[in-house]
Structure formats: C-alpha cells, structure tokens
Amino acid sequence: DQQVKQNSPSLSVQEGRISILNCDYTNSMFDYFLWYKKYPAEGPTFLISISSIKDKNEDGRFTVFLNKSAKHLSLHIVPSQPGDSAVYFCAAKTGTASKLTFGTGTRLQVTL
C-alpha cells in the first residue's frame, strides 16, 4: 500500500523555468511533509518541509505548497538550474514519530 505517491517518474525542464514536482498521500494522519533531493551515490539531502497547519513554505528558490483537502503537495523550484538535476523524494510523517514514509521519487533534469 503506497501511502505517498509521486506519479511522475521523470520531469525535464529548461534552465530558468519553473519546475513543479507533485506528491499525493492517502494517510490523513500525516501532519508533516518533507522534500529530499538525491544525487547518485549520495544519501538524500533535506530541502524543505511543511507542517500540516500551513499551506505554503518558502526557502529561497524552493516553495512547497500543501493542499490538505486534496491530500496533495507540490514543490516549486524557480528558477531551475542545471545543478537541480537529481531525484526528488517526497516524504511524510505522523506526530512525533520519526519514521518517514517516502514516495518513489521523481527524476528532474534541467536542460540548458
């Protein structure tokens, strides 16, 4: 049972444009959501997070939007840069539990 879903396995965006990565979840108990970026041969790197009491969180070029009624969140990267090319994972957790439930990832390629 995939509780966190990233339905787009890959995304290609031109440098300077906006990248939008999407994530859906089914477990209504999730109350904290995180995005991680992963390069080959490295561990996931934390990018940005959002609590379920908010609908938007921004950090530089990265903005995460949360739509609780739709159980959907998205990561916007503006402007996209070639160094953003990586696999992006959406993850969710419940309360104070440390367990993260990950999606399957979306491979972003930013082209020149």
Partner 1 sequence: DAGVTQSPTHLIKTRGQHVTLRCSPISGHKSVSWYQQVLGQGPQFIFQYYEKEERGRGNFPDRFSARQFPNYSSELNVNALLLGDSALYLCASIQSTMNTEAFFGQGTRLTVV
- Site of interaction with partner 1 (CB under 8 A): 4, 6, 32, 34, 36, 41-46, 49, 89, 91, 93, 96-105
Q: Minimal distance in Å, beta carbon 63 to partner 1? A: 17
Tokens of 89: 């994972």
Q: Which is nearer to partner 1, 16 or 55 (CB)?
A: 55
Cβ nearer to partner 1, comparing 77 with 91: 91
15 Cβ contact list (under 8 Å, min separation 6): 79, 80, 81, 82, 110, 111, 112
Q: In the complex, what is the shortest distance from the CB of residue 99 to partner 1, in angstroms, rounded to a whole number?
A: 5
CB-CB contact of 92 with 3 (8 Å): yes
**Residues paired with residue 63 on neighbouring β-strands, in sequence order:** 58, 76
Eight-class DSSP state of 39 = -
Query: Between 15 and 102, whose beta carbon lies closer to partner 1?
Result: 102
Distance in Å, CB of 25 to partner 1, minimum: 12
